[in-house]
């Protein structure tokens, strides 16, 4: 169980990130906050592109921010959407999260609803490669 204050910080960070969403094509802002093993929190939002397929999801942006800061292990992630129901991350984002996490808690929330999942629930099986030794 994560401390209540940490959960609140994650939620606030994800909500704040969604306010920066660049989503003029879908009007579907998403905010994500990654809690790294270090205790630091990293945010991401979706960045759309006129060439739709180049769009970057909020979760992947948040993971990239964490990894860019030197993190290699993710302890939890919170994802905010201003929707009726919490929104489940796309499969690509789940795969990217799972590169740095094992069975972590995932909090999906809206303005007034929240649901906890585990990564194992949302992505029960995954593609893995053994990293090459350098
Ligand atoms: N999106 C995310 O940011 N995360 C997901 O897991 C699914 C979808 C974004 C991409 C696009 O900008 C908008 O939501 C609608 O698909």
55 lines ligand 1 (CB under 6 A): yes
Pocket of ligand 1, candidates 46, 65, 96: which has the most ligand atoms within 8 Å of its Cβ, to mutate?
A: 46
Domain count, the chain: 1
* Residue pLDDT, tens place only, 45-62: 999 999 999 999 999 999
Query: What DSSP line would sit under 27-65, residue for residue?
Result: ----EEEEEETTS-EEEEE-B--SSGGG-B-HHHHHHHH
Would residue 127 count as lying in a domain? no
Would residue 130 count as lying in a domain? no
Report CA(111)–ligand 1 centroid distance (Å).
17
Give the per-residue pLDDT at 76. 98
Which amino acid residue places its CA nearest to atom 1 of ligand 1? 57
- Can you tell me the mean pLDDT for 95-121? 98
**Which pTM was predicted?**
0.97
Quote the DSSP letter at residue 100: S
Domain residues for the domain of 96 are 4-121
Is it the case that residue 134 has pLDDT exceeding 80? no
CATH number of the domain that residue 99 is part of: 3.40.140.10
């Amino acid at each position: 169980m994560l401390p209540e204050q940490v959960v609140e910080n994650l939620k606030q960070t994800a909500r704040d990130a969604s306010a920066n969403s660049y989503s003029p094509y879908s009007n579907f802002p998403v905010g994500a906050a990654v809690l790294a093993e270090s205790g630091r929190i990293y945010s991401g939002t979706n960045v759309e592109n006129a060439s739709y397929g180049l769009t970057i999801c909020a979760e992947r942006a948040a993971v990239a921010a964490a990894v860019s800061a030197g993190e290699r292990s993710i302890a939890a992630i919170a994802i905010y959407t201003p929707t009726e129901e919490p929104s489940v991350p796309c499969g690509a984002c789940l795969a990217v999260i799972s590169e740095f996490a094992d069975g972590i808690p995932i909090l999906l929330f809206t303005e007034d609803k929240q649901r906890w999942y585990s990564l194992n629930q949302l992505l029960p099986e995954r593609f893995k490669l053994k990293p090459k030794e350098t």
